Amino acid sequence: MRKAAVLLAGLVLLTGCASGPAAKASPKPSHSATASPSALPTPTPTLKPAGAFHYSTTAVAQGLVAPWALDFAKDGAIWLTERPGRVRVIRNGQLLPDPALTLNVSTASGCEDGLLGLALKEPNAYLYYTYNGGATNRVSRFTIEGDKLSGEQVILDGIPGGSCYHFGGRLKFGPDGYLYLTTGEGFVASRAADPNNLSGKILRVHEDGSGREMYAWGFRNPQGLAFDPAGRLYVSNNGPTGDLGLCCHDEVDLVQQGQFYGWPAWAGGQRTGFGQGSLPNRTGPMVESGASTAWAPSGMTFFAASAGETPTLFVATLKGEAVRRFIIDPSDPGKVASQEVVFGNAGRMRDAVAGPDGCLYVLTNNRDTRGAPRAGDDQVLKLCPQ
């Protein structure tokens, strides 16, 4: 990824953002110096193309209620959120009976609000949640104390919510050290088209919440973020379900800072009836579901099924009830070479995360009042390559 100093250039600012100190210029090499063999860079090993994904499936935890996000602590413990307001911990393969934290959040049956995103950067945990009757979202930082969280510090507040739908909510730390987050447009399409509104955006902030920046805009309900090994950012975005007279057009995008991604003037590759007005030209999707197929993509991750293999993008889908795998063209990071469903038959999928043990972890979401719960739901499932 480009260095932070380059990333900061040209961003559209939502409020007076405080950027970090400028990077110091590297000293110029001496023209008379001769590089010794030990000073030569180590060649980057060539990764082999991704092969078929064969795996075994194990249930790591069961009986959860609408889990939304998952992350790993340095000691290998799994931390996750449940939409009704609980943070849970799985340690040594066992779901601890007592929550690490219970928050008073706004959540309603059939809706999308509640306790959503989670990101760990020890000794802190960051949470994205809805309050104020669903009207507002915020991001808060908590201190990790053993298997508990304490000391809430609100680092970003006033993110507009909605009556029921489109709250965004994904949190992810980037390789540049910034915290990235997605916000939905609260089912008010015009918010996504307003660069001065926090809704329908990818935002980023420093760890303490300072330096807020709008990284990209023009999203309906983005629910997934993933960085590839080169530091490039990708986002999943839910398309319309009847709004503006359209369906589907769920998409995955390669994110370029400052760019407008189309909503509500565009849904995927389809022009809508919303006036273009003074909106800039959009950056189109890397891949979309089309006008008759709905994925409802959510959390996603880059994952390599074996050592030395090129990581590919795994996306959890809700309506699609599957984990989809996108193999990106090695010569063009904004183009999908092929895609396939690699896991299904477990209902709605909310998040997919690459684990430190070389396995892929998936959250089911059948108890979110939109699915059909089955025995053991909801679950943390572990897919280990074979």
Q: Over the stretch 356-375, which tens digit does the pLDDT of each residue have?
A: 999 999 999 999 999 999 99
Alpha carbon distances (Å) from 233 to 216, 268, 351: 11, 18, 17
Beta-bridge partners for 383: 57, 360
What is this structure's pTM? 0.88
One-letter amino acid at 269 equals G
Query: According to the model, what pLDDT value does residue 47 have?
Result: 87
Query: According to the model, what pLDDT value does residue 1 have?
Result: 42
Look at strands 360-364 and 266-267 and give their pairing.
unpaired
- Average pLDDT estimate for 56-68: 98
Q: Over the stretch 64-98, which tens digit does the pLDDT of each residue have?
A: 999 999 999 999 999 999 999 999 999 999 999 99
Query: According to the model, what pLDDT value does residue 5 have?
Result: 38
State what percent of residues in the chain have pLDDT above 90. 87
Query: According to the model, what pLDDT value does residue 31 have?
Result: 35
359, 384 contact by CB (below 8 A): yes
- Cβ contacts of residue 32 below 8 Å, gap of 6+? none
Q: Over the stretch 298-314, which tens digit does the pLDDT of each residue have?
A: 999 999 998 899 999 99
pLDDT interval class at 43 (50, 70, 90): low
* pLDDT, mean over the chain: 91
Rounded-to-integer distance, Cα 246 and Cα 258, Å: 26
- Is the pLDDT at 38 greater than 50? The verdict is no
Query: According to the model, what pLDDT value does residue 21 have?
Result: 38
Query: According to the model, what pLDDT value does residue 307 have?
Result: 86
Query: According to the model, what pLDDT value does residue 46 have?
Result: 84
Nearest to 348 by CA among 327, 325, 326, 369: 369
Question: Domain spanning 67-312: which superfamily?
Answer: TolB, C-terminal domain (2.120.10.30)
- Is the pLDDT at 18 greater than 80? The verdict is no
- Cβ contacts of residue 287 below 8 Å, gap of 6+? 251, 252, 326, 336, 339
Q: Over the stretch 208-262, which tens digit does the pLDDT of each residue have?
A: 999 999 999 999 999 999 999 999 999 999 999 999 999 999 999 999 999 999 9
Of 386 and 15, the structure prediction assigns the larger pLDDT to 386
Beta-bridge partners for 251: 237, 288
* Residue boundaries of the structural domains of the chain: 67-312
